[in-house]
Structure formats: structure tokens, C-alpha cells
Amino acid sequence: MSTESITLLLANYNNGQYLRACLDSVLAQTSDRWRCIVLDDASTDDSAEVYAEYEGEPRIRIEHNPENLGYIGTLQRLIAMAETDSGHASRAMTQSSASTVLLTAAC
């Protein structure tokens, strides 16, 4: 049995039409050794309604930018969040026990 864990980073801006399929795909994984950090970049579509459907899932953490930071700004915040959660993301990425995966908004 593998002890590897994976952190998925998902940046979203106005991709509510794809979010449900994306998050359902993540939840459908056969391994339970993952977590997902979603960072919304001040979306104005129905993304908030989709997020509400996943509030009870402890492996999915949904965060929001207070204003639109753009794709690069959002990615930088996501990576910082992963570093904060793991303590040292760069160390975690070099060890076989942890991995970080960056997903695009449409997953």
C-alpha cells in the first residue's frame, strides 16, 4: 500500500459550468490519499453555487480571492497555500511521500 499523498491545486475564474465535473472527477479517485485546494479568483458566474455542493467534503478546501488577481496571481496564492499546509512544499515535492499537482480551471 502506498503512503504517497497528493495535493491538487485548482485555480478557477468563471468556470462554474466545468467545476462540478472537475470536482466529481477528483472525488471519484480510487485513492483517498489526496486533498484539493480550490482558489476562486473573484468569479461572477455560478461558481459559488457549485462550491456550496462540496462544503461537507473535508478533502476539498475552497478559498476565495478578495479581488481578481489574474491567473498568475491566483497560482502564486495557491502554491503559497500548499506550502503553508505542508510546512515546506519544496521539500514535500522532492520526497516520495508527497506530491503537488496543479490543475487548470477547467480540470
Q: How far is CA 27 from CA 10, 22, 23, 31, 32, in A?
A: 14, 9, 6, 9, 9
Is the distance from CB of 7 to CB of 99 less than 8 angstroms? yes
Q: Write down the pLDDT at residue 58.
A: 95
Q: Quote the mean pLDDT of the chain.
A: 84
| 24-62 per-position pLDDT tens digit | 999 999 998 999 999 999 999 999 999 999 999 999 999
What pTM was estimated for this model as a whole?
Answer: 0.80
| pLDDT beyond 90 at 74 | yes
